[in-house]
Amino acid sequence: MELRLFSADDVDRALPMEQAIAAVRVAYVQLSAGRAQAALRAHLDIAGGDSTLVMPFYVPAVSGADDGGALGLKVVSVFSSNPPRGLPLIHALVLALDGATGAPLALIEGSSLTAIRTGAASGVATDALARPDARSVALFGSGVQARRQLEAVCTVRAIERVRVYSLVGAEALAAEMAGHGPIPADISVTGSPREALAGADIVCTATTSRTPVFAGGDLELGTHVNAIGSFTPEMQEIDAETVRRARVVIDSRAAALAEAGDLIIPLRDGVVALDHVSDEIGEVLAGQRPGRTSAAQITFFKSVGVAVQDAAAAGLVVRNGAALNLGRVVTL
């Protein structure tokens, strides 16, 4: 049995953001149509609040054509105790299987894949929900996920200005990302969430905060919000006022209602009803549910992350990686 091993550098080369966005778009439509399979991730709770998650996936097609799809699973560990040790917050591996035979095809470094596919999800949602004339971004967070969020948004909109707010690392992000690829040179660090939101057309939150990172009342009309940081029922990166004011679209109904504290908490408190937070992005993309209905509407995409995103990304890595002769083949 031969298995191709892809490093983080290989993933970065094999998974350009524009292609990742296109593949995740296809996967979301398949998920909402019931053609893809992505069971709710299994949580293993580790002492101290750390966790390891297991996410199986299958999508019949990655490119939209009959290409054999993508089959496999991802294992990801989120250990908040790691950064003080000088270790990454997230470790992950993706095992890609042959959709026709079930045989292992590739083992893929999963942290880089996760960051790109999570950014791609917000790229899909931004393209579907943000105003076409959106030109400015407020970015909350300064880690790898924040960087990929910014790259994805700038891939689908002609962004001219970025304002960053983060408790740590904002200056480094601004210096590193300014003028990189589709990202504008005009990136500056702000001293408060309200300052970051002023004039923002698009807001991206990519933090590990368990409490809201900005006040929903400070959002200007017409803003689009992507929130990807919280992924448990207790975490609330986005406040209830944002949810109440916005047209809410989610990645997966089952996953969001089980894991998204940003939505579960307002539902529990009676701030919004279930029908306010139950439309999937795949349904919007397929024309089954409305997207943005006016220029003044606030739109909010909540993603907890679903395995079809990993399927789409892994399928591209396997195909592009082989074509580019990336990775290393080992015999088991």
Domain boundaries, the chain: 2-114+308-331, 130-305
140, 207 contact by CB (below 8 A): yes
Contacts 24+ apart (CB under 8 A), 264-272: 264/233, 265/233, 265/236, 265/240, 266/240, 269/240, 271/240, 271/243, 271/244, 272/240, 272/243, 272/244, 272/248
* pLDDT band with cut points at 50, 70 and 90 for residue 66: low
Residue 93: predicted pLDDT: 97
**Whether the domain at 2-114+308-331 and the domain at 130-305 fall into the same CATH topology:** no
What CATH number matches the domain at 130-305, 3.30.70.260, 3.40.50.720, 2.30.40.10, 3.20.20.70?
Answer: 3.40.50.720
pLDDT digits (tens, 9 = 90+) for 67-116: 678 899 999 998 888 888 999 888 999 999 998 899 999 999 999 999 99
Both tokens assigned to 154: 């700038």
C-alpha closest to that of 303 among 220, 219, 238: 238
pTM value is 0.94
pLDDT digits (tens, 9 = 90+) for 127-164: 999 999 999 999 999 999 999 999 999 999 999 999 99
CATH number of the domain located at residue range(s) 2-114+308-331 in this protein = 3.30.1780.10
